[in-house]
Amino acid sequence: MTQHLIRCLSICALLLPTLFFSACADGQHSAELRLSDDQEVVSVAPTDAEDPETELSAEVEALRRAGSWTMGNKAPQNKDLQPDSTCSDFPIIINNQVQAYLDLFQNQQKKSFSIWLSRSGKYLPLMQRELKEAGLPEDLAYLAMIESGYNQKAYSKSHASGLWQFIPGTGAQYNLTMNKYLDERRDAEKSTKAAVKFLSNLYDEFGDWHLAVAAYNAGPGKISKGMERYHADDFWSLAQYDYLAMETKRYVPKLIASIIIAKNPEQYGFADIQPEEPYSYDTLEVGPGLTLDAVALVSNCDRKIIDRLNQELSTDRTPLNQSSYPIKIPVGSKNLASKNLPRLHRIATTDYKTHTISKGESLSQVCNRYDINKTTLLKVNNLRNKTLVSGQRLRIPYQTVRYQLLPEGSSQAIAAATQDNLILHRIQKGESISQIARKYKVPAELIVSWNDLPSSHNIRAGQQLSLYIDQKNKTFQPKAATSIAFNSSKEDNVIILATQAKKTPTDDIVNNATVTINNTQTAKKSQYSWYNVQDGDTLWTIAKVFNLSPLQIKQWNNLQSNMIHPGKRLKIKDV
């Protein structure tokens, strides 16, 4: 206990001077935790294998033992491991602090550093290419190692993100887009270009790479003021004073140690590292709102691969505020994806989740939580009143979208369809009940009744409507007298339409449905007629026109599923 207390006091003594300096406003990193307006808790670099607090304690203790901050030229204790500074284009200094990190990386933090070395194979080619084109030291690519551990989605408490850990202000300054759809700080290529530009500007200002790197962490203003205050002309002279936060002071020796080991891994005990494959991809121009599931489908690859290639996307779809987006897909899949994209067919379905009623929870609270109207919730659960009991389980409908590819030769048909009785429709600005009725081919008065609307004119944009469309039984006739009834035999307990009369489709109905019927005037003489499927047709809409059920059409035409495509001829029996 005594030894532990002494160690804690030693760490506090080393950190205490830095607690009274706040991060500079123009710094790339800011304080992760604040004790007060002018007190700062030292932040830590992201790690993957160890507890960050444990690693921070180990680093602070190692630097305490290293002694004063001087440039020095101390060689490693094991002369067989002495690095050749000429092998790096970044200025290598060997002093007590660098040696401390060499020891840490080979021992306490070896697991973390092994992970970083493995990931480096993925990003080094990209980063070194960009640095070389800008005329900067290629070994600056290892700066991303100590920043993020080469993790594109690394995120700090100070809101720094990505491989290069840009905070929002610096990211915006270097033209990285950040909104609810996109965070280009997590885009490997764009963030690297921004980091290269930032580093280039810092070197132009300081003319020294150690100072430039320190300014990348603390901000150029912080470094400039410190050099002026203490008449320091290099990083090591400035680091002797209690001016820089420990986050910045340890940043430079940590980078140098990382470069030394990364360029000589086997000599430092990292002999079994398997580097990841270099980062590469093709791009496909797609429209807004296309889900990553759909991208994976047209590219014929696993969804996880698309996720890894497009980590800058903040949602599971392409940005809705851009007319097109270059989505990243696996190398070699562009031709296939381009060919499959027009065949992509979107199917809107209704799924259900279960909600268990808590004590005192009301129907209104459940509806507000799931953004669903009371009428729908009552009908879906076959409830006759609004009284709920604690522990009661309710089915909550929600709309999902899945994708499939139409047969080759089909025209593009990214249109809504459904394979369930319940369709949830969100009213768009300017949309009317009559327009919705035409879209789903149901009477407007039925939509009013299903949703307990005062009238067909009493709706608003954003309102959700529930449409109960039966596809398993015979559907209604628009001109038949109808009544609404519960279908208690169905598992879903949805509303269906009970028709009171059966009529042959009129010419107007047939024309509105854009169908082709042969020999309709000689129905009694012919056993069947033919129907040519048009764009946007479904089995349900065709069955509705002919007063049939989708199941009948499937049986007459030996269809194995509900999928039909334009141009197909369907046999329609005269019944």
Domain count, the chain: 4
Predicted pLDDT of residue 201: 97
Pick from 467, 499, 531: which residue ends a domain?
499
Q: Indicate whether 407 belongs to any domain.
A: no
Same domain, 235 and 375: no
Structure tokens at 373: 């109207």
Dist CA 5 CA 71 (whole Å): 32
Rounded to a whole number, what is the largest CA-CA distance in the chain? 107
Q: Which amino acid is at 471?
A: Q
**What CATH number corresponds to the domain at position 554?**
3.10.350.10
- Residue 202: CB partners within 8 Å, gap ≥ 6? 211, 212, 213, 215, 216, 220
As given in the structure block, the two tokens for residue 417 are 């369809």
Residue 544 covered by a domain: yes
The answer to whether residues 210 and 236 touch, using CB atoms and an 8 Å cutoff, is: yes
DSSP 366: H
Query: Any idea what DSSP says for residue 51?
Result: -
In this prediction, residue 3 carries a pLDDT of 47
369 with 319, same domain?
no
For residue 270, which amino acid is it? F
Beta-carbon count within 10 A of 307 CB? 14
In a domain, 188, yes or no: yes
Q: What is the pLDDT of residue 563?
A: 76
Is the same domain home to 263 and 386?
Answer: no
139 and 53 within one domain: yes
Q: What's the confidence (pLDDT) of residue 547?
A: 76
Q: Which two tokens stand for residue 91?
A: 């200025």
- Which pLDDT value is given to residue 315? 93
The phi, psi pair for 570, rounded to 5°, reads -110, 140
Instruction: Return d(Cα 199, Cα 364) in angstroms, integer.
Output: 56
Closest residue by Cα to residue 463 from 471, 472, 474, 452: 452
User: Quick one: 261 and 394 in the same domain?
Assistant: no
Tell me if 404 is assigned to some domain.
Answer: no
Can you give the three-state secondary structure of 443-504, one letter per residue? CHHHHHHHCCCCCCCCCCCCCEEEEECCCCCCCCCCCCCEEEEECCCCCCCCEEEEECCCCC
Residue 338 forms part of a structural domain: no
- Cα–Cα distance between 460 and 144 in angstroms, integer? 50
CA-CA distances (angstroms) from residue 34 to 23, 157, 214? Answer: 10, 11, 21
Q: In the 3-class helix/strand/coil scheme, how is 222-249 assigned residue by residue?
A: HHHHHHHHHCCCCHHHHHCCCCCCHHHH
Is residue 548 in a domain? yes
Residue 421 is predicted with a pLDDT of 57
Task: With respect to residue 370, please indicate whether it lies within any of the assigned structural domains.
Answer: yes
Please report the pLDDT score of residue 27 as a whole number.
52
β partners of residue 401? 348
The CATH number linked to 91 is: 1.10.530.10
Task: Note down pLDDT in tens along the chain; length 575 residues.
Answer: 444 444 444 444 433 333 333 333 345 553 332 222 222 223 334 445 444 455 777 777 777 787 778 776 543 434 444 444 447 899 999 999 999 999 999 999 999 999 999 999 999 999 999 999 999 999 999 999 999 999 999 999 889 999 999 999 999 999 999 999 999 999 999 999 999 999 999 999 999 999 999 999 999 999 999 999 999 999 999 999 999 998 899 999 999 999 999 999 999 999 989 999 999 999 999 988 889 999 999 999 999 999 999 999 999 999 988 888 999 999 999 999 999 998 887 766 778 899 999 999 999 999 999 988 888 898 889 888 888 999 999 999 887 777 888 877 654 333 333 334 577 788 988 899 988 888 877 778 778 867 878 777 888 888 888 877 654 433 332 322 222 222 222 333 222 222 222 233 323 323 333 333 333 333 334 467 778 777 667 787 787 777 788 888 888 888 877 778 777 888 888 66
In one letter, which amino acid is 74? K
Residues 6+ apart with CB under 8 A from 133: none
Dist CA 160 CA 477 (whole Å)? 61
DSSP letter assigned to residue 536: T
Q: Say whether both 210 and 264 belong to one domain.
A: yes
Whether residues 532 and 551 fall in one domain: yes
Residue 68, pLDDT score: 78
pLDDT value at residue 72: 62
Q: Computed from CA positions of residues 460, 461, 462, 467, in that sequence, does the dihedral angle turn out positive or negative? A: positive
251 and 381 belong to one structural domain: no
Do 252 and 107 share a structural domain?
yes
Q: Are residues 53 and 147 in the same domain?
A: yes
pLDDT confidence of residue 30:
38
Specify the pLDDT at position 535: 63
The answer to whether residues 404 and 343 touch, using CB atoms and an 8 Å cutoff, is: no
Domain range for 44 is 2-268
Position 408 in a domain: no
Same domain, 562 and 530: yes
**Whole-number CA gyration radius for the chain:** 33
130 and 235 housed in the same domain? yes
